[in-house]
A and B are shown apart, each in its own frame.
Chain A
């Protein structure tokens, strides 16, 4: 499912890129402004595809892994560069916890990401957190290959911003 959403993102990016190309012609903008994969810098697609909109957690843990910190550092740089965006941090859990505990666990994961981004100078005013517990899995199977994708916090840029 992660793949599907990325593919969808790329498709969307291609449309956006085409639109930008027309504008670009009119303004004589540098065509090299497009990233290699076609996402316009500063676009929501750019954030999803080139920065990475999500970090993953170990089982029943809210600690940030080195890889998660790396992703969040990139998110912070991007969010500080394109500071017009408001965003929601969604916290999620895998299916191997009870419903109410997982709601609290998801909230804690979202809070961990929020605090980290704040520590990287992203304004807390731009952020909102929400927990979905185990209610919105992206991968459906009964082994770690799916569970590891579901234990996540996703930074979702608000569509209107």
Chain B
């Protein structure tokens, strides 16, 4: 959508360790989708890198298999020992020293916060590496128990663009695991850091990362009786907060489109509260349909062509889907009950939602076209806000039992239920792009206000997400690149 408004189209990437043209070993081909001018433009720097690539070619060729055996993080286990990793300060060219240092800090912060890595205190380093092209003295890094090493360089080029490159070394095997070079406009420097974090994460865990992503949420200020709520968007690590609405009207439950360029949310404008679409780059907004009752609980279909939502019909609420091109509205449920919080499975074939049709809020799954729904939640308490994980393996939910709000996950057939965190009031889970981390909000109630938290789907590593004010209703974007 609207490529002209995509601020990231200038981002390009090269593989540094590719033996020939760097195509075969691209670790994340999807990161190249929006790349208009990869490689070719910088043959000189590329040649310089290639000579080193040749030097470590042997080790590199076998690195992936060795990594699987010797150096890898098993992220499926509940008790992961974080992998000790040395992250050297990126070397900055004149005029880029501050940026280089900041990029290093972002990478270290990303890797530390995800809970799978333990960055080593630089004071412990024995070897001082002065060049990103130098092969590390592996024994010095084994001596301080480092299992992986990241080194990098940031150069501000004469054309004004930023050139950031890094190498990831397997200290155990004594080989290079990854090497990448990125070019971008200077204002994208944070994204470069997150993309490098994703590269490292993927090389060491075998799964795609999630750091190059954003979160849309509701910023809350003012007293509890008259909260001012504004839509806001930020990077996944809490940086770059930008407000999308001014606070003059109550806004709730924003959710990203798969393109990450649009959000759908609910707002109190004139008359009944309604579902809106907002382009986060252009600020253009439109109402989704015009119904006699309230429309709420919107969410995009995985292809971004439809918005599924609840419509209030007298005392009841039912689920409908609107095709955004034809504006055709299709009814999916028709019950004398509250059916709400619908969410598609990632393949678009099914919908999970909550309903009190059986007497209390429970989670149901039905085909994307509607029809019979199967209840999947059978634990004690009320089950609410189901969201399907990006890979389809889990449904996360809010469970309310004896005034305690828990965030949990279960399989789409209702089996394997696990509670990740419990208290008052946890609500509104959203999955990160690779499904390993859930963000939610917690509101202690009273005169306080809500904050955002992240937790691993194993239930480990609960962390507060930094936001400038009270914050609620987070929704995680897909990967940006």
Query: Is the CB–CB distance between A135 and B224 below 8 Å?
Result: no
CA distance A125 to B273 in the complex (A): 20
Query: Is the CB–CB distance between B384 and A107 below 8 Å?
Result: no
Listed stretches A11-19, A26-34, A76-84, A136-144; interface member: A136-144
Query: Is the CB–CB distance between B317 and A104 below 8 Å?
Result: yes
Which of chain B's residues have a CB closer than 8 A to the CB of A136? 225-226
Nearest to B447 among chain A residues (CB) is A140
Cβ-neighbour of B384 out of A98, A131, A132 (below 8 A): A98
Query: Is the CB–CB distance between B425 and A95 below 8 Å?
Result: yes
- Besides A100-B340, A104-B312, A140-B224, 6 new A-B residue pairs in contact (Cβ under 8 A), listed by A number: A98-B385, A99-B427, A107-B317, A136-B225, A140-B225, A142-B424
| 28 pairs, CB–CB < 8 Å, chain A vs chain B | A1-B225, A95-B443, A96-B403, A96-B425, A97-B400, A98-B398, A99-B427, A100-B296, A100-B297, A100-B310, A100-B384, A100-B385, A101-B338, A101-B356, A101-B384, A103-B252, A103-B266, A103-B296, A104-B338, A104-B340, A105-B338, A107-B317, A131-B273, A131-B312, A135-B252, A140-B224, A140-B225, A142-B445
Which of chain A's residues have a CB closer than 8 A to the CB of B400? 96-98
CA distance A96 to B382 in the complex (A): 11
Nearest to B339 among chain A residues (CB) is A104
Which of chain A's residues have a CB closer than 8 A to the CB of B331? none
Cβ-neighbour of A101 out of B225, B341, B403 (below 8 A): B341
Query: Is the CB–CB distance between A98 and B427 below 8 Å?
Result: yes
CA distance A115 to B224 in the complex (A): 30
CA distance A108 to B158 in the complex (A): 64
Which of chain B's residues have a CB closer than 8 A to the CB of A99? 252-253, 385, 427-428, 473
| Pairs A-B, 7 closest by C-beta atoms | A98-B384, A104-B338, A104-B317, A100-B297, A111-B315, A142-B445, A108-B315
Query: Is the CB–CB distance between A142 and B446 below 8 Å?
Result: yes
Name the residue in A99, A105, A112, A138 with the highest tally of chain B Cβ atoms < 10 Å from its Cβ. A99
> Smallest CB–CB gap between B263 and chain A, Å?
16
B432-456 CB contact bits vs A (8 Å, 1 = yes)?
0000000000011111000000000
Query: Is the CB–CB distance between B445 and A108 below 8 Å?
Result: no
Interface status of B238 (Cβ within 8 A of chain A): no
Interface status of B250 (Cβ within 8 A of chain A): yes
Interface residue count on the B side (C-beta < 8 Å): 42
> Smallest CB–CB gap between B475 and chain A, Å?
13
Interface status of A130 (Cβ within 8 A of chain B): yes
Interface residues of B in 208-261 (CB under 8 A from A): 224-227, 250, 252-253
Which of chain B's residues have a CB closer than 8 A to the CB of A101? 338, 340-341, 354, 356, 361, 384
> Smallest CB–CB gap between B126 and chain A, Å?
53
CA distance A99 to B250 in the complex (A): 13
Interface residues of B in 70-100 (CB under 8 A from A): none
**A contact residues vs B (CB 8 Å cutoff):** 1, 60, 62, 95-101, 103-105, 107-108, 111-112, 115, 130-132, 135-138, 140-142
CA distance A75 to B428 in the complex (A): 38
Nearest to B341 among chain A residues (CB) is A100
Nearest to B444 among chain A residues (CB) is A142
B313-324 CB contact bits vs A (8 Å, 1 = yes)?
011110000000
Which of chain B's residues have a CB closer than 8 A to the CB of A112? 315
CA distance A57 to B312 in the complex (A): 20
Which of chain B's residues have a CB closer than 8 A to the CB of A96? 400, 403, 425
> Smallest CB–CB gap between A74 and chain B, Å?
23
Interface residues of B in 268-302 (CB under 8 A from A): 272-273, 293-294, 296-297
Cβ-neighbour of B272 out of A60, A100, A104, A130 (below 8 A): A130
Query: Is the CB–CB distance between A107 and B294 below 8 Å?
Result: yes
CA distance A135 to B424 in the complex (A): 17
CA distance A108 to B252 in the complex (A): 19
Which of chain B's residues have a CB closer than 8 A to the CB of A1? 225
Nearest to A110 among chain B residues (CB) is B315
> Smallest CB–CB gap between A47 and chain B, Å?
21
Query: Is the CB–CB distance between A137 and B225 below 8 Å?
Result: yes
Query: Is the CB–CB distance between B296 and A138 below 8 Å?
Result: no
Nearest to B403 among chain A residues (CB) is A96
CA distance A130 to B295 in the complex (A): 11
Which of chain B's residues have a CB closer than 8 A to the CB of A138? 225
CA distance A96 to B425 in the complex (A): 8
Which of chain B's residues have a CB closer than 8 A to the CB of A103? 252, 266, 273, 294, 296-297, 340
Interface residues of B in 368-400 (CB under 8 A from A): 384-385, 398, 400
> Smallest CB–CB gap between A85 and chain B, Å?
19
